[in-house]
Amino acid sequence: MQARRQNGVPGIILDCRDHGEADKIVTFFCQEKGRLTGIAKGAHRSKKRFVNGLELFSMVLLNYSQRTRDRLAIVNEVELLNSFITVRHDYGAYQAASAIREIVLGATGEQMVEDDFFQLTLWGFHALDSGKDTLTVLALFVIKMFACIGYRPVLESCQGCGTPYRSNGAAMFSPAAGGLICSRCKSSHHGWQLSGAAIGAATSVQRQPLPLLTRVSLTTDVSRQLLSSFYPYVRYLLQRDIVSWKALI
């Protein structure tokens, strides 16, 4: 069976490791294709097909061939579109980008088309590269990510008794319940306390269209509350630690 050739697929490099002396195994998160792993043969020697294009976090135009979906793709050539240079040189941005990378790798399957998630990931790298506060970017990414993977936390009512959340009041977020727990029900649940400001911010971000997300600002305290409370939920959903995220909080 002849390999099918795919030209010009935009993708973000999530992983790149050596394979033998000359090749590299590369994992991309691609528009309209999802996560794709392929082998770049001769990547260490080629100065034309892969020059500066196989760096972690880079946005590239990917040209590849693949016989069947269950076979490793052959990376024929990549064209660098954006190296996100600030992300690579700023420690905080690099840590946040690494957390996004770990989340995407844990939440996606090979070649499962998830364009909303791809666009959100691309937004995250652009926001970090532009110098937006790293904790804010990661918090915004995580809140929107839940909807992309089908596990949007419920912040409108108590998941124990169903009582509507009272605006501006504090409440507990329970990873196991997937939402807020009121003061009357918290004795039978385990979770992390969120202030009214943090709950209000998260609820607003859930409704915010992606193109307007860059305009959103969060205080450091609110960002840390959200990241600390949502981390156990992400670990619960993905069944894995997000090491780079833990380092930030």
Q: Are 145 and 152 in contact (CB under 8 A)?
A: no
Per the structure block, which two tokens stand in for 66? 């693949």
**The predicted structure's pLDDT at residue 3:** 55
**The predicted structure's pLDDT at residue 1:** 46
How far is residue 90's CA from residue 86's CA, in Å, rounded to a whole number? 6
Taking the CA atoms of 207, 212, 214 and 219 in sequence, report the sign of the dihedral they define: negative
The angle that helices 196-207 and 134-148 make with each other, rounded to 10 degrees, is: 60
Strand 4-19 to 34-40 pairing: unpaired
The angle that helices 220-238 and 91-107 make with each other, rounded to 10 degrees, is: 30
pLDDT along the chain (249 residues), means of 10: 66 93 92 93 76 88 86 91 94 96 94 89 97 97 96 95 89 95 91 95 96 95 97 95 91
What is the pTM (predicted TM-score) of this model? 0.92
DSSP letters for 189-220: ---EEE-HHHHHHHHHHHHS-GGGGGG----H
How far is residue 136's CA from residue 223's CA, in Å, rounded to a whole number? 6
**The predicted structure's pLDDT at residue 46:** 67
